Structure 1
Amino acid sequence: MITMMTAKDVATMVKNKEELFILDVRNQTDYQDWRIEGEQVESINIPYFDLIDGVDGVLDQIPAHKKLLVVCAKEGSSKFVAEQLAEAGLEQVAYLQGGMKSWSEHLEQVLVYADERMKVYQYLRMGKGCLSYMVVSGGEALVIDPSRFTDVYLDAAKHEGAKISHIVDSHLHADHISGGKQLAQMTGADYYMMKSEGAVFSFKPLEEYDRIRFAQVDLRVLAVKTPGHTPGSVSFFVNDKLLFSGDTLFVGGLGRPDLGGKAAEWAQDLYDTVYEKIAAMADDVIVLPGHYAELDREVNEAGYVGAQLGVIRAANELMNQQDKKSFVDQVVAQSKTETPPNFEEIIAINRGVEEATAERQQELEIGPNRCALHHTHE
């Protein structure tokens, strides 16, 4: 008999570093581009069409002592293969409900920080590498870089007895569709982003708000000229303790400055950001980025993606390079990697100049994020 696993079930196993063996029956290209990964996750790829006539030929590739999860794009193929494997005598067989589409859309809530003034939650989109946040204080909530799955934030705010009053996007995202506009419409919250991003709908321009205050939260807007994909990117420094760094600074690297076609120019601005604004911050500031590349390496013992600034500084050679030309040359060279899939269409949707159905949005977001220069792992 087979069982069904949800994306949340899988996320829990990955976070808890439980052993899981995955048979991924998507085509080889999709598997190589993007798959479920984790410290104790092992996977093989055998396309569905190679298994239609039977699974006997793959039984020797599947360890009998591990939980087996069969994965496909949407669910149907994996359920069929799982049934064949169970009939062949395997006992711990499951399939992923909703397939990789459900994995792409799952958000895992983790408590990041709590003191007498505020609580901070991180939302890990484990199948995408995207991170968003909620800061709660005095019956109000601020949401940072929300995904399009607005119900997650609405439910969390309700659970906290708080009203979402402020929403901020650190930049115009290139790898996923922002839920900021929709969430603002649903809650009446003030929605902020940089005017220089070129969005055509109504919002509060961060150029006019260097601080956002509510309850016991003081959020400072740190304008970071062109460090990532777009003409206006910012980081948010909350209560001088937490740096929500967007796509500027990651646990394992820096934001890539090439998607706007001005890699060398924008890399110079990134240098100024690193060596002027970030260099002035204390080592014990907790950095909370907008993305991660490798959960195993970037999630900490507390279960969230983030690290003290001093630790990141010490590990990242680009943050210890005093020569601007060398910095720029290295960033430009390492920016020449594969771009986020569909990034131009996603940016157009986030800017408000194009629209997309829910199905199209789902299609656009399938796959990993490619938003960082991860130097420390190479």
Structure 2
Amino acid sequence: MAIAMINAKELYEKINAGPLFILDVRNPEEYNDWKIEHKNVSSINIPYFDFLEDNEDNYKDLPKDREIVVICAKGGGAEMVAELLDERGFTVSYLGLGMIEWSQFYHPVTVAAKDNMKLIQINRVAKGCLSYMIISDGQAMVVDPGRHTEEYLKIAEQENAKIVDIMDTHCHADHISGGPEISHKTSGTYYISTGELQGADLPHEPLEKYDSIKVGSVDVKVLAVPTPGHTPGSTSFLINDKYLLSGDTVFVGGLGRPDLGGKAREWAQSLYDTVFKKLADLPDSVMVLPSHYASPSEVNDNGYVGALLGEIRKNNEIMRTENRAEFTEMVVATAGQSTPPNFEEILQINIGAVEVTPDKAAELEIGPNRCAVHHA
């Protein structure tokens, strides 16, 4: 039998096509911390080194009636195990560059295409990171881009659009922003709230100077009052009064964690004001499009992560807790749980204080999103 090497895009297509069995041969700690999860995926963890022993028990729980996809960290171990399975008559393929490649896979989905505007959500599936491109009249704005800048340049080229604006809703803690690099490559303007930069001298245009920024004929409203809580300078963007790019402030299933700056109780107060004062006037019909998600179940029937603000208010307990003291205690109770690994170093990179190689950047970003912790 032939052993097929597949890439991340092909794996994503297999996952969405129907039931898939994954054999993950990384060590148990890596598997338990971060693995491929989806309603269509069944997975088992048998470490690579177990297969170095000639023990047939390693194979007894593996199905012979369907394909097995073998996955490891970088691909080499998976290939070796796939060969052993092939020798025993299993139908097998393996992810060529492993979880490193899976971590860097982006999947674009069109959220809306009308009124001379196209809004695309770009899903970095393995990280649960979401970024956006707004296109109008041949111009494009990118919001919360990841560090793989070629993904955004490719989409802009496909859409015959020039990137003129790049926005970060806040200084991200779990992944490296591609905003400054896209700005350098396109001569587009990079926007972020100055308060997010901790005094660092990163070239940018301060978001706090603007009430509205236009791209083509689309009115991108920078909310007149910022939406702090997850970070002090978090800013949300309202597109055509219909779509709220909420950063890490409001998620489909909850609110952004306020504890990464070491001031959980203080920032929880800001988060309360954001929810019950600054966003209170937005109608239930606004579509919330966040910068992260915690589970594949948050992908809606249209293939993107988003929900009406009214649904989020209805379904999430903390969004209904109008008592300030109770709200604060609920938020603080979850503070400090599962902080993003390497978040302090990633923050330093994102404010321009530290530079790293692409290999080091990939190493720092390995692991799941841990910015969305307040769920219903």
TM-score w.r.t. the length of structure 2 is: 0.97
Number of the residue aligned with 1:129: 128
Number of the residue aligned with 1:282: 283
Number of the residue aligned with 2:72: 72
1:130-164 CA distance string (max 9 Å, x none): 01110000000000000011111111111111100
**Aligned-pair identity (%):** 51
Contact 1:3 1:95 in 2 (8 A): yes
Number of the residue aligned with 1:321: 321
Shift of 1:2: 0.9
Number of the residue aligned with 1:272: 273
Alignment of structure 1 residues 81-100 onto 2, 5 Å: 81-90=81-90, 92-100=91-99
Give SS of 2:43's match: strand
Q: 2:226 aligns with which of 224, 227, 240?
A: 224
Contact 2:227 2:278 in 1 (8 A): no
Shift of 1:214: 2.4
Contact 1:54 1:84 in 2 (8 A): no
Aligned partners of 1:219 and 1:282: how far apart in 2?
A: 17
Amino acid at match of 1:357: T
Question: Measured at CA, do residues 209 and 15 of structure 1 come closer, stay the same or move farther in structure 2, by a change above 3 Å?
Answer: farther
Shift of 1:283: 1.2
Aligned partners of 2:351 and 2:124: how far apart in 1?
A: 22
Number of the residue aligned with 2:104: 105
Aligned partners of 2:55 and 2:13: how far apart in 1?
A: 28
Aligned partners of 1:15 and 1:192: how far apart in 2?
A: 35
Whether 1:28 aligns to 2:6 is no
Amino acid at match of 2:181: Q
Amino acid at match of 1:174: A
Give SS of 1:233's match: coil
Paired residues in the alignment total: 372
After TM superposition, the structure 1 stretch with the greater mean CA deviation from structure 2, 215-224 or 363-372, is 215-224
Number of the residue aligned with 2:343: 343
Shift of 1:46: 0.8
Aligned partners of 1:14 and 1:322: how far apart in 2?
A: 41
Contact 2:227 2:236 in 1 (8 A): no
Structure 2 regions of 5+ residues with no counterpart?
none
Give SS of 1:113's match: strand
Aligned partners of 2:294 and 2:267: how far apart in 1?
A: 22
Aligned partners of 2:55 and 2:317: how far apart in 1?
A: 48
Whether 1:360 aligns to 2:360 is yes
Aligned partners of 1:225 and 1:8: how far apart in 2?
A: 35
Contact 1:221 1:237 in 2 (8 A): yes
Alignment of structure 1 residues 113-262 onto 2, 5 Å: 113-198=112-197, 199-222=200-223, 223-228=225-230, 230-262=231-263
Shift of 1:47: 0.7
After TM superposition, the structure 1 stretch with the greater mean CA deviation from structure 2, 108-117 or 26-35, is 108-117
Give SS of 1:312's match: helix
Shift of 1:280: 1.2
Shift of 1:55: 5.9
Shift of 1:225: 4.9
Amino acid at match of 1:270: L
RMSD (Å), alpha carbons: 1.1
Aligned partners of 1:261 and 1:80: how far apart in 2?
A: 45
Shift of 1:14: 2.9
Shift of 1:314: 0.7
Amino acid at match of 1:53: E
Contact 2:24 2:31 in 1 (8 A): yes
Aligned partners of 2:333 and 2:66: how far apart in 1?
A: 42
Question: Measured at CA, do residues 14 and 280 of structure 1 come closer, stay the same or move farther in structure 2, by a change above 3 Å?
Answer: farther
Shift of 1:9: 1.3
Alignment of structure 1 residues 34-49 onto 2, 5 Å: 34-49=34-49
Aligned partners of 1:55 and 1:305: how far apart in 2?
A: 44
Contact 1:71 1:100 in 2 (8 A): yes
Number of the residue aligned with 1:6: 7
Amino acid at match of 2:288: V
Amino acid at match of 1:266: W
Contact 2:70 2:82 in 1 (8 A): yes
Amino acid at match of 2:221: R
Contact 2:164 2:188 in 1 (8 A): yes
TM-score w.r.t. the length of structure 1 is: 0.96
Shift of 1:176: 0.3
Shift of 1:335: 2.1
Contact 2:50 2:58 in 1 (8 A): no
Shift of 1:311: 1.0
Amino acid at match of 1:128: K
Shift of 1:279: 2.0
Structure 1 regions of 5+ residues with no counterpart?
none
Contact 2:135 2:215 in 1 (8 A): no
1:208-253 CA distance string (max 9 Å, x none): 112101221111112435311x331111111100000000000011
Contact 1:19 1:67 in 2 (8 A): no
1:338-364 CA distance string (max 9 Å, x none): 100000000000001111011100100
Give SS of 2:375's match: coil
1:296-334 CA distance string (max 9 Å, x none): x20000000111111111100111112010000000002
